[in-house]
Amino acid sequence: MDKSTKNIGLSISNIDIPSKFFLAPMAGYTDHVFRSLCRDFGAGLLVTELVSVAALSRKISRTYRYMQYQEKEKPLSLQLFGDNEDEYKKSIEENDLSFYSFIDINMGCPTKKVVKNGGGSALLTDTDKMISILKAAKSASKIPVSVKIRLGYSRGEGGYIERALALKEEGCAFISVHGRYATDMYRGTADWDSIAEIKQALGDFIVIGNGDIKTKEEALKAFETSKVDGIMVGRAAVGCPWIFQELNSIFDESINYKKISIRDLTIKHLKGCAELYGETSGVHFMRKFVMKYLGYTDLDKNKKVEFMQCESINDVIKLLDKFNIN
């Protein structure tokens, strides 16, 4: 594989993206604090948490929290979900979305909260509806519109190539494909062979693959076997935002690796969450990340549990110092 620096990123709809490795949208994780950390380590396109068009079209105030961003996040994609074409149009037309580089329509989320209202992967059961929503969003948007999908709703149903071709033909900017079906949730392993079939069928059209990429070796294999244009990384980045600099080295061996300090990274992340959510809520929110970060230390389980009792930033710092976490 060509490892020249000029190939580390890619261009989509005349928008330059600094890396072929995108950060997947993850509800409850990919707020602007975490996204910015990932960008610091070389992530390509960043994507917001899922934003409901039902709420955004009604300008429900709490919805805008999911849309907050920092300047350094550009290029950033706004992830929308829902099943009502008029709500997509109203959300796009009546809100200032000029900072975002793309609008991404989620047609792949398998969670009950999203699916029961007809959004996310529920749309995979009705290709005409998928296209109708894409048309509605495109008609209202001044920025490119992409779509995130899974292979389908249930295993054995087929049709994933036809759905992908329909999105391409309707002028979708690019598609991201998670190599599972909705009913799989996150069980089993991602089917990169099917992702490869989609990429082959779509030719030069941009396809981003997603699913189970946790190491540089897995990413390299996925690129070589599927020929996708980029890879979206989700769960593997949680507690390990530096994964992006490791993955980028596939294309640029001269990357100057940033030194990883679990202590400094935890405090930086914690302070960002405290600013976003308030100190107590931010510390509570950070617990899932702290446990992931501590997984890269030699602390035993009992010592890690002490961090779950913290109520303030100082509480966390005291424990980091107590256990000599660097």
- 48: exposed, middle or buried (Cβ count in 10 Å: 0-12, 13-18, 19+): buried
**In the predicted model, what is the mean pLDDT of residues 9-26?**
97
Q: Are residues 160 and 129 in the same domain?
A: yes
Answer whether residue 125 shows pLDDT above 60. yes
Q: What range defines the domain where residue 64 resides?
A: 5-248
Name the catalytic one among 109, 172, 240, 310: 109
Residue 109 annotated in active site: yes
Backbone angles phi, psi at 147, to 5 degrees: -140, 140
State the total domains in the chain. 2
Q: Are residues 222 and 301 in the same domain?
A: no
Using an 8 Å Cβ cutoff, are 134 and 105 in contact? yes
- Residue 125: which CATH number? 3.20.20.70
Domain boundary residue, one of 248, 281, 299? 248
When pLDDT is cut at 50, 70 and 90, the band that residue 253 belongs to is confident
Distances (CA, A) of 117 to 59, 82, 92, 98, 314: 19, 7, 20, 28, 42
DSSP state of 297: S
Quick: pLDDT tens for 300-312.
Answer: 999 999 999 999 9
Domain boundary residue, one of 192, 226, 248? 248
Using an 8 Å Cβ cutoff, are 124 and 107 in contact? yes
Amino acid letter, 91: S
Q: Are residues 282 and 156 in the same domain?
A: no
Answer whether residue 5 shows pLDDT above 50. no
Quick: pLDDT tens for 133-176.
Answer: 999 999 999 999 999 999 999 998 889 999 999 999 999 999 99
Q: What distance in Å separates the CA atoms of residue 242 and residue 123, rounded to the nearest whole number?
A: 34
Mean pLDDT across the chain: 95
Q: What distance in Å separates the CA atoms of residue 250 and residue 195, rounded to the nearest whole number?
A: 20
pLDDT of residue 1: 55
pLDDT of residue 37: 97
pLDDT of residue 156: 84
Asked if residue 110 has a cis previous peptide bond (ω within 30° of 0), the answer is no
Between 176-190, 201-215, 254-268, 274-288, the lowest mean confidence (pLDDT) is in 254-268
Q: Are residues 145 and 288 in the same domain?
A: no
